[in-house]
Every structure is written in C-alpha cells, then in structure tokens.
Structure 1
Amino acid sequence: MELHDVWFVLIAVLWTGYFFLEGFDFGVGVLTKLLARDRKERRVLINTIGPVWDGNEVWLLSAGGATFAAFPDWYATLFSGFYLPLLLILICLIVRGVSFEYRHKRPEENWQRNWENAIFWTSLIPAFLWGVAFGNIVRGVKIDAQKEYVGNVLDLLNAYSILGGLVTLTLFTFHGTVFVALKTVGDIRVRARALALRVGLLTAVLALGFLTWTQATRGDSASLVAMIVAVVSLVAAIAAVRVGREGWSFAFSGVTIVAAVAMLFLTLFPNVMPSSLDDAWSLTVTNASSTPYTLKIMTWCAGIATPVVLLYQGWTYWVFRKRIGTQHIADAH
C-alpha cells in the first residue's frame, strides 16, 4: 500500500472520529429544544457535553489539516467549491463555542435564552450541512481538467445531497438522544429513551434510502458490507434503547456512524473528489496527493502525536463518566 493510500485511510478515520464524537454533541444541542422542558433541564443537557465538546472538535481540525498536507489539490478544490456551506459551518462552530462559554456569564433570562437558542441552531445547521457536503463529494461535482470547481452553490442543492443532510441530522440527533439517556438520571432519562425510539425510526427510514441510493450508483462488494453493518447496527441501537440498555444503544449507534462513513469513503476510493463532467478529470489519491517525502514526514508525526491525543481524550471521558440530573443543578439566582 502506497503512502497516499495510507493517508486516504487515515483521513477517513479522522472524519469518522469527528462524526462519532461531534455527532452526539450536535444531537445534544438539538435536544435543548426538542427534549428540555425548562432552563434547568437545558443546563443538564449542556453539562453532559460541557467537559468534552471542545476536545471533540480537535478531530475536525486534524481532518482538515491532514487533508491540506496530504492532498493539497483535494483541499483546494473542496474549500473553493464548497466555500459558502463550509463558511457557514465555520461560523456556526465559532458561535457555538462562544455560546457554551458566554451563556452563564450573566444572570439575565434574555441573555441566557439567546445563547441557548444559538446553541440549538449552531448544532442543527452543521449537522445538516455536513451531510450535504459529503453527499456532493460522493455524488461528484463539476471539476474541470485544471482540477477546479466550475459549478455554483445551487449545484450543491440536489436531491441526493439534501437526503444526505437529513440523514446526518437525524442520525446525530438519535446519537445525541441515546447519549443523554446514558448520561442522565430521572425523568429526563426516561423521556430521552422515548424520544430516541421515535427519532431512531425516522433515521432508519432516511438512512436506508440514502445508503441504498449510494450503493446503487457507486457501490461495490466492500461498500455493501459496510452498508449492511450500518443498517443492522442502527436497528440494534433502536432495539437496545427500547429495553433500556443505553450503553449498548450508544455503542451500536456509534457503529452505525462508523460503518456509514466507511461506506462513503469506500465508494470514493481511489477518487477523493469525482468529477461529474468527465471521470478523467476526477481528483484521485494519486493526482491530488503531496510528494512521498511530505507524506513520510506526516506519517512519523502522526505516529507520535495520535496515541497521546487518544490517551488524553479517553482519560477525559473516564473522569466525567458519571450520570447527572436536575438535582445536581443549583437553582438560578
């Protein structure tokens, strides 16, 4: 296996880690409107991800940086062609981080309500737009012989990519709902399980349609295996949450995300960004990669830094592993 193939796999792993971890972050943010009944319950939801949300975003930075260094042509075409949706995602992530930090800085009700509304919208919008973006990457976009995107933003709004956005939105919301059920006690835990069943069923319908469409247009035997794993895991997650096994349900919903992302990257390879104008103009792991020397240096750096990051993040989740409930939240002054 060549180094550019290795880095394609590593970038796929980074995106998988990001969607697995940030997925339930986004889901919890959406639940501040769908599940929480009052301010105290919203504080419970936010506190479930409070110690970890910023660490989860490290995976996005790593994926973007690795793409820039390992496949500069892919990075350039992607960020120039998808400029507006990616800029909107970036703005949402900035406002979302500020919202977590500023929400509790002042006691006024309007102040806190406005920042909580910001948390909801800046969780919902990226959860949808990431699906739209990856849907277009898999489907193929207008790339010319100079490796430049020649379409416009309206070309990105097609039936396949919009369905992909709805899948990521509902899947992340389901993932977040199961996470809340796993991390809380009392009435909010019971209601989270009930909501997870309804969201899970909607997710299953949308995901089955999207994955089947993907398999029919670009799939092979490997992507078919990944699709089957994703569908079976999602059904298992719904069944587990129905009987109150939140830990198993969260694990299975995580496997669903991992398998679904793996399927998308399997349908891509050896392309990194297919051209809808001419297959010969597609960006591939070969024509879009950096020099072998650059990839070699990156491999050594990743081999040293990655275990440290994984150990630190695992330790963080272990420290903040206990459940919380409204009884753990002090009354507002």
Structure 2
Amino acid sequence: MELTTVWFALIAILWAGYFLLEGFDFGVGVLLPVLGRDNRERRLMINTIGPVWDGNEVWVIVAGGATFAAFPEWYATLFSGFYLPLLLILVALIVRGVAFEYRGKRDDDRWRRRWDLCIIVGSLVPAVLWGVAFGNIVRGVRLDADHEYVGGFFDLLNPYALVGGLTTLALFTLHGAVFLALKTDGEMRERAGKLAARLIVPVIVIAAAFLLWTALAHHDVAGWILMGAAAVSLVAAVPAIRARREGWAFLATAATLVLAVFALFVTLFPNVMPSSIADANSLTVTNASASPYTLKVMTWVAVACTPIVLLYQSWTYWVFRKRLSVDRIPASGGHA
C-alpha cells in the first residue's frame, strides 16, 4: 500500500477519534443550560469532562499536524479557503478552555454565569462548524487550476453543508447526554437518560437525511456500506437508551460517529479536496502529498509514539472511570 494512502487513512482515524472523544465534550457543553439547574449541577457536568477534555483536543492538533506534514497542499488550501470558519472554531475552543479554568476562580453567581455562557457557545460553535467544514470537503469547493479556493464565505453555507453542521450538532448533543448518563449518578443520571431517550428519534432523522444525501450524491459502494453501518449503530442505541444501559448506548453512539467519519473519508478518496469547477482541479492523495522520504520518516515517528499516547490516554480514562454525583459537590466556592 502506498504511504499516501496510509496517511490518508491515519488522518481519517485521527478525525474519527476526535469526533468520538471531543464529541461528548461538546455535547456536555451544549447541554449545560438544559440539564444544569443550579451551580452544583453545572459543576457536576463540567467535572465529568474536566480530567479529559484537553487531552481529547490533542486529536485535532495531531490531525492538523499530520495533514500539514503529509499533505501540505491540502493543508494550505484548506486553511486559506476555510480561514474564517476555522478561525471561529479556534476562538471558540480557546474561550471554552479559558472558561473551564476561570469559572470557579470567584464565588460569584454572575461571574460563573458569564463563563458558563462561554462554555456553551464554545461548544456549540465547533459542533456546528466542523460539520459544515466536512460537508464542504465532501461536496467539493471552488478550486481553480492552481488549487486555490476562489469561492467566498457564503459559498460554504450551502444546504448540504448546513445539514452536515446540524447533523454533527445533533450527534454530539446525543453523545453528550449518553455520556452524562454513563458518568453521573442520582437525579442527573435519570434526567440525562430521559433527555437522550427524547433526542434519539430526531437525531436519527437528521443523521439519516445527511447520510442519504451523501450516498445519493456519491456512488461509492464502500461508503454506502459504512453509512449503513453507522445508521444501524445509531438505531441500536434506541433500545439501549430506553433500557438505561448507558454503557451499550455510549458504545452505539461512539460507533455511529466513528463509522460516519470513515464513510465520509472513504467517499472522498482518492480526493482530499474535490473541485466543484473541474475534476482536474481537485486535490488528491497524489498531487497534495509530501515527498516519499517525508512520509517514511513520519511513519516511523507515528509507529514509535502512537502506542505511548494511546496507553496514556486510556490510563487517564481508567483512573477517572467512576461515576460522579452532585452530593460530592460543595454548595458554593471552589473550582469548577
């Protein structure tokens, strides 16, 4: 197998891991005003992701770095053409990270409400814009013969991409509700489970619409199979959620996100960024890749470092595996 194909697959795995892990982070943030009735409950929600959210963001940093090193032409075109939405995502992630650190610095309700709003917006904006970005990548954008993006910002806000943004928001919100039901106990667990049960049918409808639109627009058998598997996984979450089997429900929503990302990348291959102007203008794994020597060095580095990162992150989740309850949250004061 060519190293260009290997690195395309590795980047797909990195994005799948990011959507799986950061997806429930975003979901928890979006649900903060829905499930968090008071400061103690909101602190409980934040504490479920407190030990892991920054580690989860490493996946997108590595995905961006791998794209820059393995496919520099793709990276350059992507970050120049999608500059504004990617900047909005970056600002949202920065504000969200600062809010996690600062909301508990003062024992003041107004102070905490402002930082809670930053967490909500900092979760909502990326949850939508990642779907919009990937929708445009799969659909194709206006690239000229020099592989330069010649469209405008509003060209990115087409119906297909907007449905993609709604889909990621819906899936992440459901994933976050299931995660909260899995990680908490008592009343929060009950409310999160009931909310997940109410969300599952609308999420299935939205996700099915996006996957069907993608399948009809791209006649790729492997992509169809993966989209079908993603749909089956999402439907399988229904009985698990209703039976309060949070572990199985989380595995089902996690599998849905991973399979959906794989389906989009398989549908995209061998392109990395199709041109909607002319097929000859498209960026592919061949014309966008770095030199063979660069890919070879990167492969050896990845082989050496990836197991260490995976073991460390797995150990982190194992250490913080226990359920949390609002009874352990002080009535006031302290950090978030």
**Residue identity in the other structure for 1:139:** R
How is 1:221-260 mapped onto 2 (pairs within 5 angstroms)? 221-260=221-260
Aligned to 1:214: 214
For the residue of structure 2 that corresponds to 1:178, the secondary structure is: helix
> Could you list the per-position Cα deviations for residues 129-177 of structure 1 after superposition, in whole angstroms to 9, with x for gaps in the alignment?
0000000000000000001000000000010000000000010000000
For the residue of structure 2 that corresponds to 1:65, the secondary structure is: helix
Write the distance in 2 (CA, Å) between the matches of 1:304 and 1:259.
26
Q: Percentage identity across aligned positions?
A: 64
Aligned to 2:295: 295
Aligned to 1:136: 136
1:331 CA displacement: 1.3
For the residue of structure 1 that corresponds to 2:272, the secondary structure is: strand
1:238 CA displacement: 2.1
Write the distance in 2 (CA, Å) between the matches of 1:238 and 1:284.
38
Write the distance in 2 (CA, Å) between the matches of 1:92 and 1:199.
25
Aligned to 1:180: 180
The answer as to whether partners of 1:73 and 1:289 remain within 8 angstroms in 2 is yes
Aligned to 1:203: 203
The answer as to whether partners of 1:218 and 1:267 remain within 8 angstroms in 2 is yes
Structure 1: tracts of 5 or more residues without a match: none
Write the distance in 1 (CA, Å) between the matches of 2:44 and 2:103.
13
Aligned to 1:276: 276
Aligned to 2:109: 109
Structure 2: tracts of 5 or more residues without a match: none
Write the distance in 1 (CA, Å) between the matches of 2:227 and 2:8.
20
Aligned to 1:11: 11
Q: Does residue 98 of the first structure (1) align with residue 98 of the second (2)?
A: yes
Write the distance in 2 (CA, Å) between the matches of 1:56 and 1:124.
17
Write the distance in 1 (CA, Å) between the matches of 2:327 and 2:319.
20
Aligned to 2:309: 309
The answer as to whether partners of 1:223 and 1:263 remain within 8 angstroms in 2 is yes
**Residue identity in the other structure for 2:210:** F
Aligned to 2:20: 20
Aligned to 1:83: 83
Write the distance in 2 (CA, Å) between the matches of 1:198 and 1:263.
26
Aligned to 1:64: 64
Write the distance in 2 (CA, Å) between the matches of 1:63 and 1:219.
27
Write the distance in 2 (CA, Å) between the matches of 1:262 and 1:221.
13
How is 1:158-177 mapped onto 2 (pairs within 5 angstroms)? 158-177=158-177
Write the distance in 2 (CA, Å) between the matches of 1:176 and 1:249.
11
Write the distance in 1 (CA, Å) between the matches of 2:218 and 2:95.
36
For the residue of structure 1 that corresponds to 2:288, the secondary structure is: coil
Aligned to 1:52: 52
Aligned to 1:286: 286
For the residue of structure 2 that corresponds to 1:192, the secondary structure is: helix
Write the distance in 2 (CA, Å) between the matches of 1:315 and 1:103.
27
The answer as to whether partners of 1:196 and 1:238 remain within 8 angstroms in 2 is no
Write the distance in 2 (CA, Å) between the matches of 1:257 and 1:108.
38
Write the distance in 1 (CA, Å) between the matches of 2:211 and 2:239.
20
Write the distance in 2 (CA, Å) between the matches of 1:263 and 1:331.
46
Aligned to 2:119: 119
The count of corresponding residues between Structure 1 and Structure 2 is 333
Runs of 4 or more consecutive aligned structure 1 residues displaced over 6 Å after TM superposition:
none
Write the distance in 2 (CA, Å) between the matches of 1:190 and 1:267.
39
Write the distance in 2 (CA, Å) between the matches of 1:121 and 1:34.
14
Write the distance in 1 (CA, Å) between the matches of 2:239 and 2:89.
33
The answer as to whether partners of 1:96 and 1:122 remain within 8 angstroms in 2 is yes
- Across the aligned residues of Structure 1 and Structure 2, the Cα RMSD in angstroms comes to 0.6
Write the distance in 2 (CA, Å) between the matches of 1:10 and 1:276.
26
Aligned to 2:73: 73
Write the distance in 1 (CA, Å) between the matches of 2:228 and 2:71.
30
**Residue identity in the other structure for 1:255:** A
With the length of structure 1 as denominator, give the TM-score of the two structures: 0.99
Write the distance in 1 (CA, Å) between the matches of 2:278 and 2:197.
43
**Residue identity in the other structure for 1:173:** T
After TM superposition, the structure 1 stretch with the greater mean CA deviation from structure 2, 215-224 or 307-316, is 215-224
Write the distance in 2 (CA, Å) between the matches of 1:103 and 1:175.
24
